[in-house]
Amino acid sequence: MVFTEVADRVWVARYAWFDVNVTLIGGERGLMVVDTHSSGAAAREVLADVRRLGQGDVVAVVNTHEHFDHTFGNAEFRTAYGALPIHAHETAAANTVAAGERIKRAYAADPGDEHAEEVLATEIVTADHTFSSAVSLDLGDRAVELVHPGRGHTAGDLVVRVPDADVVLAGDLVEESAPPGFGQDCHPLEWPWSLDVVLGLTTAATVVVPGHGAVVDRDFVEEQRNTIGLVAEEIRSLAGRGVSPDEALAAGEWPWPREVLAHAVRRGYEHLPRGGRRLPLA
């Protein structure tokens, strides 16, 4: 896969497996890699592409959250470049091993999957440099900011901002190639508010790199924020009308297919304040 420069010394490679993006940020000290793909074998492909780009050595890794398609290459990057610092939000780091073991169990239950063997063979390495709210990292001639805007896709999402290039790497808080990933650890009621923080980090000219799919702009993020907001409001509305969690998915009017929203509805009901739901209607 070819890394494409989307802004000054910011390169993105879009890999077919999960349509996941891996991003390189160049600085005087070297390269920062943001997300490391979905297995040790996949990461070795990424490493070959990094070397082919010829812009220097990797000096740091950032994981935008704990899911395996963003973290399972960590070990290979350390094998290639030594004891690299791996940065993540503190919650993501705390959850990386459990999330990785969960996905390994899923692949073990489906040995016919073409990627099962490489996923099961991957060593899980979690971040060792963590933060709670925001931190600035020094690449020599440029600063790179890591910001936890709040909970959304997971409890430990971060976005990466490169101020001098006007670039924001949004992780899976934003997805271009499919509806946002409402998984079993999502926070659908808070996700719109977290994207409000992300929008506050952008300008009309900002290049936004989603976790999956093509590079987008601020308008795309705002539209996706508003659509996720519709999901959150529908959950609140259904609960307020006394619709039970078991009936809500079928009863609601949703902006995306119901099959991708099952976890969103369940999690949304779980996160409602005690006074946010009524007894089921008779």
What is the pLDDT at residue 59? 98
The length of the chain in residues reads 282
Six token digits for residue 74: 């960590």
**For 55-60, what is the mean pLDDT?**
98
Residues 261, 265, 266, 272, Cα dihedral to 10°: 150
Residues 41, 44, 48, 49, Cα dihedral to 10°: 80
Sign of CA dihedral 206, 92, 36, 227: negative
Nearest to 229 by CA among 199, 203, 191: 191
Cβ neighbours for 84, distance < 8 A, ≥ 6 positions apart? 58, 59, 60, 61, 77, 78
Confidence of residue 282 (pLDDT cuts 50, 70, 90): very low
**For 233-260, what is the mean pLDDT?**
97
Backbone angles phi, psi at 201, to 5 degrees: -90, 0
The number of beta carbons lying within 10 Å of the beta carbon of residue 226 is 12
**Residue ranges per structural domain of the chain:** 4-276
Contact indicator for 93, 126 with CB cutoff of 8 Å: yes
The number of beta carbons lying within 10 Å of the beta carbon of residue 28 is 10
Residues 106-125 have pLDDT tens digits of 999 999 999 999 999 999 99
Cα Rg of the chain, angstroms:
19
**For 52-74, what is the mean pLDDT?**
98
Confidence of residue 277 (pLDDT cuts 50, 70, 90): low
Nearest to 209 by CA among 266, 201, 240: 201
Topology (CATH level 3) of domain 4-276: Metallo-beta-lactamase; Chain A (3.60.15)
pTM (predicted TM-score) = 0.96
Six token digits for residue 117: 């063997």
Confidence of residue 1 (pLDDT cuts 50, 70, 90): confident
What's the maximum distance between 2 C-alpha atoms anywhere in the chain?
67
Burial of 56 (0-12, 13-18, 19+ CB in 10 A): middle
Sign of CA dihedral 256, 260, 265, 268: negative
Six token digits for residue 107: 């692949």
**For 18-22, what is the mean pLDDT?**
98
Give dist(CA 253, CA 218) in Å, integer: 26
Q: Which residue has the tokens 């001639």?
A: 141
What is the pLDDT at residue 278? 56
Burial of 76 (0-12, 13-18, 19+ CB in 10 A): buried
Six token digits for residue 216: 């987008």
Q: What is the mean pLDDT of the chain?
A: 96
